[in-house]
Structures are given as structure tokens and as C-alpha cells.
Structure 1
Amino acid sequence: MPLVIILSLAGIAPYFSAIVSSFFGDEAGRSIFIGFAHYARLFNDRGLALSALISLGWALLSASVTILCAFPLAMLARSSKRAWALIFPSLVIVWATPVYIGAPLWRFLLHGVAGDSLFRALTGIEVNLMNDPAASFVATALVSAWFRLPQATFILLAAAGRSRRALDEAAALDGAGPAALAFSVQLPAMGAALLAVGALELVSAFREFTVPFLLTAGGPPMRAGITDSGVVGATTTLEIYLYDMFSGYADRGVMAAYSVLLSTIIWLLVGAGMTLQKAAATQAFRQGRGQRNGRTARHAIEKRSDYIPGSIADRFFLAGSWALAALVAATVLALLWCIMWMAFSGLSVAFVDSFLPRYPSIAAFRVAFLQDGVLLNFANTLYVSLIASAGAIALVFPAAAWLAERPLAKTALAFALLQALASSGGVHSLIPLYELWRRMGLLGGYLPVILVYIYHAAPTALLALSAFLRDQPKSLKEAACLEGMGRFAWLIKVQLPLALPALGASAMLAFLAAWNGFLAPLIFLDDDTKYTVAVRLHSYVGSIASGAPKWNRFAAVSLVNVAIVALLFWRFKKPLSRSALADHGED
């Protein structure tokens, strides 16, 4: 029951509150009923229509690049231990890099000072994110794909690892090379996983806010973007459009109407994605059952013999996959080098023109931690993360134990709803929550931020813990009943100790999600003494149009933050590498 209350308070109540607010308008400080006037306005808003087109195109580009890069990386990592040794640490570093650090670093690398950047020095290509709409649009989509690449690659790698080794061996005996194994064997077998990842990436990209906001702040204005309601830039997605309205518009009813519309669109997209995933999983199950009923690997290869790539395709596929892996590793090294150069330089510049930092110094660390009080921001972040992770586990564990005792078929709907909740967050959901808490007079503290983090951590933790508890031997429950143990004693004395590994992993994931959170503190916290480290780092470099970004202080604090996150991520290295390497072949 407490978990249901939290989920309702953070996810459902703000939505319905926004629906009610959307029918009222502000007039002379009073709230009056105006019916559907706000909805009529938003449907006639050319800026909203333009930002919707930008969101759709941007999401399609980002999701497509993610899938097109993740598949060859997964195939290469699966087939070669040397490739795995290159790909795995690169992707883990990308995964461990908070977006509020990585996105400004990409801005430093690509844009520099009005296009005069390290990227231009290395390639001769100028990327001006302030003046070039096309470059701004493409660059933000590619950077977003870079951040999403680790998750997509590991999911596809796990899906490929579950396929039968006999299928690969039979294909190899028939002369199939790497390209044939990837496109004629693995690709058909991974249809469900690819569709699931594609749907996940598309929904995530459609509601993305942080990357385009931190990299371009909405992008350079377009000619068609000059509207009555404001200026729409090349990367002004729907989420940024709503955030700009939230930052500068007074009528709460208008914002509520926009929030309701965007929330409804996201819910529909999530529902469609889940339907596609279910259909793909059913088809994959039927195909797998057909293969178990006698369709051999050789028959599967022969059936696709007209589509099996030859040796030239094998060489191109391997060369392209290795080049992609090298490019990912190179971007990681370049960003690490940039952050080291800035952190230990005595200059606060947006351009690297030497291998070693100019005027080497640790002054940036001293100023940030001793004068700017960044230690307080780290303490704030630690406090929020600890409370959020502990609260999520305390609320989820009893609910997971209850669900584990129910038949899986009866809990499928609950898990589907939880998955939808976990996939539907963003600016469109936080602004109604902000308005709800404002009306209740509860703003000004960490409670709404912690509530948001618990809300987003609960679905994943509940799914993992209930699956873990469901796998426990039934004989334990029977023995406990024979001993006269009650439900509460069984939960605390038996299930809790057994679930400690799963509880620890779920708590760590919740802690990392809260530590790396940016959007909730940005919206709910307006007191700099309560800023988390994410908001503090954003204050150092601001938007792309900021006049005097403090790059060396940003880099110094980011370096300490990355070290902390890396230590926490190290907790997951052995389990992740062990599961992913289980099906790896030899070079």
C-alpha cells in the first residue's frame, strides 16, 4: 500500500491535477473556468507543431543511430575476446558518465568557441552549434545516441548470448563468415530483442531533454521557428518547448494543457512500444518452438542461402565493426583527455591547443572546493541519493514479496503498468508535479526530488526483487509454515536475508540513478545552498550562449564526481562481464 501511494502521488495524481488545471485560466490574480480554451490555443500553436516535428525527426535519427551501432558492436564483442576487451571498458565509461558532465564536454569538444574547437583542429570540420541549425540538430542526436549506446549494446549482447551455440557452429561448418552469422543467423533470432530495444530507444529519444538542453539549449533559431508564442530552434524538442514555457510563462493553465497533451502522447508511445514488444516476444517464442521441433540450424541457413553475405561482406563487416569500436574508444579517450587538461590547467578556456595543460595548476580544485563550497553540493547529493535508495528498497521489498507469491499470469498487468511508469518520465510529468506541490506549499526542500527518484527506481527494483524471490525453493516456505512462522517473521527472518544480494544491487542502481539525476533538482531546487552537484556543475558552464563559462572548475569538480561514480560502477563490473562473457568465442 505505501508503494501504491508513492506511485500515485508522483505519477498519477499530477496528471489528473493537470487535467483539472487545464480548464482554468489566470485573470487578475484569480483562477477562472475557461473550458477548452487552452487546448484550442495549443492546437493552433505553430511553435508546438514545429517542435513536435523536430522531436519526431530527432528521435528517429538518434534511435536509428543507436541501433545501427549497437548491433555490430554486440556481434563483434560476442565473437572476439580482444574486441570485448576494447568495447566493454569503453561502454562502461560512457554508461558511468553522467549526462550533465558528458554533454558539456561534447560541447567543449565540438563547438569550443564559436566552432573553433578541438574537433576542428583534428578533422578540419567546423561545427558551430550556435549558428548552424543542421549541425546542431545532427550533433545533439549523435551525442544522445552515444549516451544510449551502452544499454542497447548490452541488451543485444545478452539476447545474442541466449541463442544456441549449435546454430553458430552449424553456420560456420557451412562456410558462413562473420557477416553471415550476424545477418543470416543472429539478426533473425534477435528480432524480438531488436524490436524491444528499438521501441525503448525511440520513446527515450522522443522525451529526451537533458542532451539538447545542455548541448545547445534549444539550438539556433530557424526561419520558420519565429512564432507568436516564441522562437523555436533547431533542437527545441517538445520537452524543451515546455520547459521554456515553464521558465517564462505565468498562466499555469496553459502549461497544464501542454503537459497533459505531451503526457498523453508519451503514454500512447509507451503503450504502442509495449504492444510491439509483446508481439515480437510471442513470435520469437513460436520460432524457437519450431526450431526445437526439428528445424535444424543447417536448414535455417539453407533457407536464407540467397541472402548470406560473401567473403567481401565479411571483410567490410569486420572492418566496419572494428572501426566503430575504435571510434567509441577514441571518443572516450578524447573526452577524458579534455577533462584532465581543463582540470589541471590554470586557464579557463574552451579550446585545447597543446598536449599538456597550459600553466599546470590545481587552483581549480582549490577554488571549487574551498571557495565555492562544492563539498556542500556533494553532501546534498549524497543525502538525496541515500534517502532515495533506502526509501525505494524499503517500499519495494514488501510489495515484491507479495507479488512473488502470486501467479505470474495474474501479475503481468501490474508489471506492464510499472514498465510504462518507468518509461514515461520527463519534463511533461515533472511540471504538473511541481504545480501540485506548489499548491500544497511543500516546495523548497528535497522531498519532491526524493519522491521523483523513488518513483523512477521502484519499477525496476520491484521487477528484479520479485523475480529473485519467486525463484526461491518452495520447501523453505513449507518448512517455515510447519514451524508456525507467521507472514511477518517469514518476510524478515527468511526472505530478507536471502534477498540481500538482490537488495544490494537494486539499492546501488537506485543510488546511482539519484546521484546522476539532473532534471528533478533543476526544476525543484531554487536555493543554491541545496543544489546537488549536477546543478552546481551546470551553473559553472551554463548554456551555450553563456558569456564566461568556468571550464576549469567544471572539469575539476567533474573529475571528482566521475571518480566517485566509477568506484560505484566497479561494483557491477564482475557480474556484468561474467554474464556477457559466458558465450564468447575465441579469436
Structure 2
Amino acid sequence: MSGVRTGPRARGPARAGQYLALLGYLAFLAFPFLWLVSTAFKPARELASLHPAWIPDEPTLANFRQAFGEQPLLGAAANSLVAAASAALIAVVVATPMAYVTARRRGRLSAAAGAWVVVSQAFPFVLVIIPLFLVLKNLHLINTLSGLVMVYVVWSLPFALWMLMGYVRAVPAELEEAAAVDGAGRLRTLLSVTAPLLAPGIAATALFAFITAWNEFFFALVLLKTPEKQTLPVVLTHFLGAEGVADLGPLAAAAFLATLPSLVVFALIQKWITGGMLAGAVKS
């Protein structure tokens, strides 16, 4: 009886500790973004202060006007959007059928796909950039968004395949077998039964590929030469002086604007993912 009475009491402090740990983790994640927002709206006088405050005393939009006046942020954002959205779409379209076949037909193919994912993620960027540059040069794709999209697709495809394989394996094969017994063909089964249950996984994979391409810097720096073709992460480096001295206010303003698309896409797809998961649970 004593054990039964003390059980809830014992779980109370543990649960409180979990909530405290979660709040601490959220604060740790939110700190850089909040500081970035605060810096973006601070005037030059407050940025030069030895003890800057969290909340600007005199919020200003001067940093944003200066950032747009000095660098082509809108054009760079458009380039990043085209490259990231195209890479995410192509990666998902290619990886989805590959993941389905690999997950359903277990054997050497599945093992080889898993090994490919591990090996591909182990290669650093610096190791592959020279042969990659030579290949794209022979294909006349240097300094083009098409070449950059191709690189992003190849780089994100292994992890996208690995993610989708997990989602495919989570869909019970008995559902497809039951649809086949009811007379549904293979294509109709995939479109009516499997695809709706895979929709949250496809959305999550597309989100991963989009954010990875949107934030990528190294490949874009090496492959894109003219300012009109450069992506947003590359243009952000232009706010750094020749000796590494940063124009902090405009840099923070531009970086804040660069983070907004990822946050908006994540917020929109997160709701859709949750709705898709609930719908899938009801259907199953």
C-alpha cells in the first residue's frame, strides 16, 4: 500500500524535472534567434554599447533599409527559393518510389541502400568539391542554378531515401494485401491506400530537403560566380569587411529575413503533417 501511495509523489518531481529540462532546451534554442531579432532592430549607437540590452531602447528599421540598399537580397532570396524548392521536389519524387521498393523488398537491395546512406553522409564537402566542380564544368553547369539544384538533389537524396524507407515500413503491408483482396490493382492500391499514409513522411522529407538547400553555403559559394546567380547565404557574407569586421546591424537584419522562409514553411507543413498523421490513424 505504501508503494502505491508514494508512486504518484515520486512521479511528480520527475515530471517537473522533465518540464524544466524541456524549458531549458527551448530557451537554449530560442536564445540565438531572439538575440538576432533584437540586434536587427537596434540603432548603431546601441550596437556599439559595451552592455547592450535585450530590448532596443529605440527600435529602428534603418538596418533593414541599409541591408536592402547595399546588397541584392530579393534577387538572392529568389535564387535560394528556386534552388531549394526545386531540389526538395526532385528529391522527394525520386526518393519515394526508391524507398517503397527498397522497404518492401528486403534483402541485398535494402542493405545496399542503407550502406549508401551511411557512406554518403560520411564524405565531407571539401573532399567532393573538386571532382564535382570538374564534372559540372564538363556539363557546362558551372554558375547556373540548374547545376546547383543537381548538387543539392544528389546530396540530400540518400538521407531522403533513408527517411522515407522508415515511413514506408511503418505502413502495414496488410493494408495493401487487403486492398488487393478487395480487387484493387497495384496502382490504385498505391494511390488510394499507401500514398495518403505516406503523405506526412513525404512532407517531412520535403521540409528537410528544402531547409538543407536553403541554408547551404559551401557549394553555392564555389559553383556560383556572378552576383546575379548567388544565393542568400552567400550574399550574407558580403556584409563582412575585408578584415572580417562585420556590419552587425545590416547583417542581423538580413539574417533575420533569411530565417523567415524556413520558419514559415516549417509552421505550415507542421500543421499539415499532424493532420495527415491523424487522418492516417483513422484510416488504418
2-structure distance, mates of 1:433, 1:348:
45
Question: Do the aligned partners of 2:46 and 2:52 also contact (CA within 8 Å) in 1?
Answer: no
Question: Are 1:399 and 2:98 matched, yes or no?
Answer: yes
Gaps of 5+ in 2: 1-13, 275-284
Paired residue secondary structure (1:411): helix
Aligned equivalent of 2:42: 344
Aligned equivalent of 2:254: 557
Matches within 5 A, 1:43-192: 79-91=17-29, 93=30
Deviation at 1:345, TM superposition (A): 1.4
Identity of aligned residues (%): 27
Q: Comparing both chains, which one has the higher relative contact order based on Cα–Cα distances under 8 Å and sequence gaps of 6 or more?
A: 2
2-structure distance, mates of 1:415, 1:429:
20
Paired residue secondary structure (1:395): helix
Matches within 5 A, 1:302-451: 332=31, 336-337=34-35, 340-346=38-44, 352-355=50-53, 360-369=59-68, 372-407=71-106, 411-451=110-150
Deviation at 1:444, TM superposition (A): 2.0
2-structure distance, mates of 1:439, 1:508:
31
TM-score (norm 1): 0.40
2-structure distance, mates of 1:469, 1:566:
27
TM-score (norm 2): 0.77
Question: Do the aligned partners of 2:73 and 2:232 also contact (CA within 8 Å) in 1?
Answer: yes
Letter in 1 for 2:209: A
2-structure distance, mates of 1:362, 1:369:
11
Letter in 2 for 1:550: D
Distance 1:564 1:441, change over 3 A: closer
2-structure distance, mates of 1:499, 1:473:
11
Gaps of 5+ in 1: 1-75, 94-331, 577-587
Distance 1:423 1:491, change over 3 A: farther
Question: Do the aligned partners of 2:180 and 2:186 also contact (CA within 8 Å) in 1?
Answer: no
Deviation at 1:485, TM superposition (A): 4.3
Write 1 or 2 for the structure with the bigger share of helix. Answer: 2
Letter in 2 for 1:553: P
Paired residue secondary structure (1:80): helix
Question: Do the aligned partners of 1:343 and 1:559 also contact (CA within 8 Å) in 2?
Answer: no
Greater C-alpha radius of gyration: 1
Distance 1:77 1:535, change over 3 A: farther
Query: In the TM superposition, what whole-angstrom CA distance separates every residue of 1:79-124 from its partner, at most 9, and x where no partner exists?
Result: 5311221113423x4xxxxxxxxxxxxxxxxxxxxxxxxxxxxxxx
Aligned equivalent of 2:282: none
Question: Do the aligned partners of 1:540 and 1:549 also contact (CA within 8 Å) in 2?
Answer: yes
CA-atom RMSD in angstroms: 3.1
- What is the count of residue pairs matched by the alignment? 258
Query: In the TM superposition, what whole-angstrom CA distance separates every residue of 1:15-61 from its partner, at most 9, and x where no partner exists?
Result: xxxxxxxxxxxxxxxxxxxxxxxxxxxxxxxxxxxxxxxxxxxxxxx
Distance 1:542 1:419, change over 3 A: farther
Residue in structure 2 matching 1:566, options 248, 260, 263: 263
Deviation at 1:409, TM superposition (A): 6.5
Query: In the TM superposition, what whole-angstrom CA distance separates every residue of 1:113-159 from its partner, at most 9, and x where no partner exists?
Result: xxxxxxxxxxxxxxxxxxxxxxxxxxxxxxxxxxxxxxxxxxxxxxx
Aligned equivalent of 1:504: 203
Paired residue secondary structure (2:144): coil
